[in-house]
Every structure is written in structure tokens, then in C-alpha cells.
Amino acid sequence: MNFSYQMTALYTILVKEVLRFTRIWVQTILPPAITMALYFVIFGKLIGSAIDSSATDGYSYIDYIVPGLIMMSVITNSYSNVVSSFYSAKYQGHLQELLVSPTPNMIIILGFIGGGVIRGLMVGAIVTVVSMFFTDLNIAHPVITLLTVFLTAVLFATAGLINGVYAKSFDDISIVPVFVLTPLTYLGGVFYSIKLLSDFWQTVSLANPILYMVNGFRYGFLGVSDINIYACFAVILIFWGILFSIAYFLLDRGIGIRT
């Protein structure tokens, strides 16, 4: 397959992926918007107004958590889009449409990841719009903001793909989000600054990759972060490199998809 054929194949997968999640928008787009609106009302407005701004680097609580909440929806949505789409393609058998075609594995991987990234960013944008009903957004470093959110979406879409490759049942596609992703996100400094924690728990928190993404993103918005911004990018890129290699290896070997 020459380059332009490959681009046609990639474009096809992307269109297919976007149509898939927009067809079922009630399951994919609407829930995060509603959940996040609730978070803004309850944590941001009601509880947040009672929180002293010294705990949040001098920012009002809602302003402090907005970047984390956006990031949380980007992470969840880019991950779950790929894992559901890939697993259901495997389960229903139509992944074979791709496997019999000359589309190279690299394009298949990029297509699925791309689909997850688009959904993650789309939901992220919607949540951002929702947040503007509750607070005035100022973005201190737009480039860093966009770069962090993009790379994070790529990272979690890749992770979702690996999950999809390994999944053998519908249970397997919810285990990681429920038992790994959600706890790590909540403990990743979405709702608090790790400076509030004891030294010991601060050090433990540093092992959580999501902390770096949330803080990188918050730095983009507010200009404050618990973590050095270069360290944020380094962590995201290193993790992504590892996950992408795993995903490529799995597809190349046909693990979980060819007998």
C-alpha cells in the first residue's frame, strides 16, 4: 500500500470511529457533560466557596479544580472510546474487516487512537464550555494547555487500545477504568494540591502519572503547578512511548486477535 492509500485507510478509520461515538452520543457525549456540570455546582460552587484559597495557591476552589475536571473527562473518554470500540469490533467480528485488508497495523493503531483522541478532546471542549457557566476561564499558557491535553488524550487512547486487545469479555473492559483509572485520577490532584498531604503521601503521589498531567494542564490554565512543567511532559512522553510500543507489539504478533 502506498502512502496515499494508507492515508485513505486512516481517514476511513477515523470517520468510522467518529460516526460510531456520535451515533450513540447519549451514551458518549452527554453523560460527561452532565457529570461535570454537577461537579461544578457541588464541589465548585457549594463546597468550594467554603474552602480557603490558601489551600489552592490563592485561587478560588472552582478555578483550581476546573483544569483537573476537564482533564478527568478527557482521560476517561479517550480511554473508554478505544477500549469499547476495539473490543466490540473484536467481539462482533468486524475487526476482521481491517485484518483481511492491506491496511498496515500502524495505521490501524493510529486510527483507533485517533478516534479516542477526537472523542476525548471533543468531550474536553464541551466540559470547558460548561465550566464557563460557573467561572471565568483565563488561560495563562495556551500552547502548554493544548499540548498537555492532546498528549494526555493520546496516552490514554493508547492505553485503552491495549486493554481492548487483551479484553476477553465485557467485564475486562470495565476493570481497568473502575479499579485503576478512576482511583488514580481522584488521587492525581484533581481536587486538591498535593502540598496538603504529608511528606510521605506527597512522595507516594509522585508515582501517579496522572498527577503530572493534571498539574501540567493546571499550569497551562493558571500558571501554577505542584510539579515542574518539563517533568510533566517527560512523564507523559515516556509513558506514551512504553504503551505505544506494547500496543504495536501486540498487534504485530496478532495477540488476542489472530488464532
Partner 1 sequence: MSKALQINNLRKTYANGFTALKGVSLDVEQGDFFALLGGNGAGKSTMIGIISSLVNKTDGDVKVCGFDLETQRSQAKSMIGLVPQEFNINMFEPVDEILINQAGYYGVPRKEATIRARQLLEQLELWDKRKNMARELSGGMKRRLMIARALIHRPKLLILDEPTAGVDIEIRRSMWDFLTKLNTAGMTIILTTHYLEEAESMCRNIAIINKGEIVKNTSMKTLLSGLNHETFILDLKTPVTQVPHTDEFTITLIDESTLEVELSKDFSINRIFEVLNNHDIRVNSMRNKSNRLEELFLEMVHQNNAENTSEETA
Distance CA 180, CA 248 (A): 22
Helices 105-131 and 3-23, axial angle in degrees (round to 10): 40
Distance CA 91, CA 38 (A): 34
* Shortest Å distance, C-beta 111 to partner 1: 10
Distance CA 32, CA 63 (A): 19
195 binding partner 1? (CB under 8 A): no
102 binding partner 1? (CB under 8 A): yes
204 binding partner 1? (CB under 8 A): no
* Shortest Å distance, C-beta 126 to partner 1: 23
Cβ nearer to partner 1, comparing 15 with 34: 15
Interior CA angle at 95 toward 255 and 30, to 5°?
Answer: 110
Backbone φ, ψ for residue 118 (5° rounding): -60, -45
CB 70 within 8 A of CB 128: yes
Cβ nearer to partner 1, comparing 56 with 85: 85
* Shortest Å distance, C-beta 100 to partner 1: 5
19 binding partner 1? (CB under 8 A): yes
168 binding partner 1? (CB under 8 A): no
# of chain residues touching partner 1 (CB under 8 A): 31
The x, y and z cell numbers of residue 13, run together, are 478509520
Sites of contact with partner 1 (CB under 8 A)? 1-2, 4-6, 8-9, 11-13, 15-16, 19-20, 23, 89, 92-94, 96-104, 254, 258-259
